[in-house]
Amino acid sequence: MIKVIRFTVLMLLAVTCVKANADEEVIRKALNLAMPASKVDSVKPSVIKGLYEAAVGANIYYVSEDGKYLIQGRLVDMAARKDLTEEKLNGTRKLAIENMGKENMIIFAAKIPKYTVTIFTDIDCGYCRKLHSELDQYSAQGITIQYLFFPRAGKGSDSYNKAVSVWCADDRNAALTAAKKDKSVPTKICDNPIDKHMKLAEDFDVKGTPMIVTERGNILPGYLPAKQLVEALEDEKN
């Protein structure tokens, strides 16, 4: 009798697994048709029966098991008062930044690094310039800053062209510092990742600059002085 029960349970698990895999494949095909330019990184069951969670780049979508309906929004556990979508987004942001690669960033490393943050910046943004003018203070707190460009005026704007010139400069760090001080940077054109930066900013739903992303993928919008930023990064660990 026990053997029969075990066999039945195993059969049910196998059928459930096959069903889940079939649903995931249906959803992948539906998303690929709806978003041909985007890569579907993962599809897995969500906490709601019949609803699947799909990670596409830095975004999370919820899709019905037949692949017919897509929900773009937040999934909240009201009892636990947790934004489940935000928890997932932290992971997708972290992975997206890793995939961008340090070779596609301008990095100001702390002398004794303890933390690393990635900041979407606009050369002509006032608070971005204020943050950059205090690099010594961030470095003293052990904060390494990885810059990605998000010229808010858009592609082809003066801010965009400045970002390209900074990237193409012989010394990018020095050129960025000069540009942040409103000094002239020689106009240059070369292969650059600025469009990739802007696409990532769009995926991250960046509304303004500076926007700080922590190592864990959390968003800290706006300017934060070095000491406040360290406090936020320490709170994140707890």
pLDDT of 48-90, one tens digit each? Answer: 999 999 988 888 999 999 999 999 999 999 999 989 998 889 9
Domain ranges of the chain: 2-96, 105-237
Which CATH architecture fits 2-96?
A: Roll (3.10)
Residue with tokens 């050369």: 123
The sign of the torsion formed by the CA atoms of 27, 29, 33, 37 equals positive
Q: Of 213, 25, 38, 182, which is closest to residue 118 (Cα–Cα)?
A: 213
What CATH superfamily classification does 105-237 receive? Glutaredoxin (3.40.30.10)
Query: Which one-letter DSSP state was computed for residue 187?
Result: -
Mean per-residue pLDDT over the chain, rounded: 89
Taking residues 100-128, report their average pLDDT.
97
Give residue 204's Cα distance to chain centre.
Answer: 5
Q: What is the pTM of this model?
A: 0.80
Checking if the pLDDT of 160 tops 90, the result is yes
